[in-house]
A and B are shown apart, each in its own frame.
Chain A
């Protein structure tokens, strides 16, 4: 699909805005939950691929049809790889570190099903950034 003008591009972006709002502030009403997993070289070297596959398996086993796993780049927390961000509508997105394959089930059970924090692995987002969604 070719975009021919700026207005077409802006229209398209507006239709996609929910996605970014969910990831930045959680202020959406949609019921889709997203798990972003850092899949840059260092994340993969720390086992992110195994975690990714395990997350998908657990989600299928528990039949959580509204949970999506998305591979993203590096957040910079190399010492806590593999890192994931859990985005639940209506809640601040949460970062978790050292989510290896064997932590995947616990992450989904605690954070998504029971809605409690996963102690020891919670990361604090320690940066501000240039705005993207402002206009």
Chain B
């Protein structure tokens, strides 16, 4: 670089809005005043992923981090560090383990909250070029398993790693393989569940689009372990790019002999085919998925028999999810102990989450189990958009629940999330802020499950419909306090009596929101919810902006005179609220 020093100043949304700091401009000003422009350049960067300690400034080439930098610190950093070459020790990043300030970052990375196993290759390799996957030790896990291990040893390895299914249920993968392996017969199947149906989750799509070979390799390992020579990937038709890349990957894998007959001259045969879904949420349930693969309506059937006993074509079948598979080559290469050393006591390894909603850094993150929601939302996720108040985070989609502020410090694993009324699910995290209406959200999910109910069992088919009707009544201010009791009663009954996972978990969004936000339900039940916007007369300056944006022209008033909203006409679109420059509009 041209200048002697480079200052990387975090310009992420969190550092910018939460701390209301414009540090980059501040640095530029001080540097210009001191006429040091030749020696140092200022570069604005994205989020460092440790927003809790923001704002952050990194100094190059010294490679050290200053944290919690305030406007008032700029002078000192420029004078001491840039001009005199002395480190400003009090602002240094502190190593969270040794508790010591880190003066030389070189060689030592800052401790990152994210650790990627399933996503390890995403964004690093070209998914349409098998040699790039080989360059990151691709297919070496399969090669080593075929050369050194018996199928039973592979099952033992998986059991020892304590990997659990990432599709939501959290069933131990090793046990699933063991059950399937122990079944008699030669005809067995491996199925990859890529029917990612939770609206708001997209980690499986990212793995298939970014690193398809890791899934193929893991499926072959599974085939070897359970004694199957055929695998299927059941993938949503809504993911055309993922399907395209899978097809390319399978073709290349066959060309290199990683799929097909006599793989690595071991005598083991394995091939994979794709089956398309056609838009049915319930097909994420493994028995429904199998029926769909057989060309039937995707209706679930009672377990037992489990698919490991009688699955696809009535043969023993192991169904595992995309993210689960993506972990497996890394577990084989790095060892079961390595994997089991990450995470909490009962949940090992990492989990990928899709962060969305009212959060700054929307995206995919992968964190060790045991990371808290607060770390995910405020450090990695960069906090709330526009610095609004956090209300809750929805996890587990239509089968999960909301997690309110008081549980933000819960370390995430399968059990802890269940305890607080939610579930891991596939890993969609939708962040809600103060503006979100929790009852409307519950209604949204009920609309979803009711629409997606396959209709086979009564509790789900009729029960969710009734629940939806009650919620609809409540939100239209046509309900009564009795409705709340009926709603809860229904929810509990459906949970206990529905046939499959979809039905049993469908009431969760209602039950969990009722537990934590009962007051909002009551407000609807007692019809105390205001549905229209109003103008606070004292604050209104009569700028006419609201009247001009109102789509139904229900705001009247003249220039410089406080305006009035005709509440009988207001459609609560919120346009006036956004337009008002002086916060004189009150929300419903």
A contact set with B: CB distance below 8 Å: 1-6, 9-10, 12-13, 16-17, 19-20, 23-24, 36, 38, 40-42, 44, 70-80, 83, 85, 95, 97, 115-117, 119-124, 126-133, 135
Contacts and interface: CB of A to CB of B under 8 A. Distances in A.
Contacts of B205: 40-41
A73 B147 CA distance: 31
A115 B1 CA distance: 6
Interface of B: 1-2, 6, 8, 10-11, 24, 41-50, 58, 109, 112-117, 119-128, 131-132, 134-140, 143-144, 147, 202, 205-206, 209-211, 239, 241-242, 255-258, 264-265, 330, 334, 360-366, 380
A46 to B, nearest CB: 12
A77 B363 contact: yes
Contacts of B115: 127-130
26 contacts: A1-B255, A1-B256, A2-B255, A6-B147, A10-B140, A12-B134, A19-B132, A20-B136, A41-B205, A42-B202, A73-B125, A73-B209, A73-B211, A77-B361, A79-B362, A115-B2, A117-B8, A119-B43, A120-B11, A122-B46, A123-B47, A124-B8, A124-B49, A132-B120, A132-B136, A135-B137
B125 to A, nearest CB: 6
Given A41-B239, A76-B364, 9 more contacts: A40-B210, A73-B123, A74-B209, A76-B123, A77-B361, A119-B42, A122-B44, A126-B48, A129-B116
Nearest to B139: A9
B56 to A, nearest CB: 9
A128 B112 contact: yes
Given A75-B123, A116-B1, A122-B44, A16 B135 contact: yes
A40 B244 CA distance: 12
Contacts of B210: 40, 72-74
Contacts, number: 184
A119 B24 CA distance: 10
A92 to B, nearest CB: 10
Given A40-B206, A41-B209, A130-B117, A20 B46 contact: no
Name the residue among A115, A124, A126 with the largest chain B CB count within 10 angstroms.
A126
Nearest to A40: B209
Contact of B360 (A1, A2, A41, A79): A79
Contact of A6 (B24, B113, B144, B365): B144
B109 A128 contact: yes
A114 to B, nearest CB: 8
B192 to A, nearest CB: 17
Contacts of A120: 11, 44
A95 B366 CA distance: 18
Given A133-B136, A133-B137, A124 B47 contact: yes
Given A19-B132, A124-B45, A73 B127 contact: yes
B123 A129 contact: no
A74 B206 contact: yes
A127 B116 contact: yes
A121 B113 CA distance: 22
A122 B45 CA distance: 5
Name the residue among B136, B241, B258 with the largest chain A CB count within 10 angstroms.
B136
Nearest to A132: B136
B181 to A, nearest CB: 23
A78 B363 contact: yes
A72 B114 contact: no
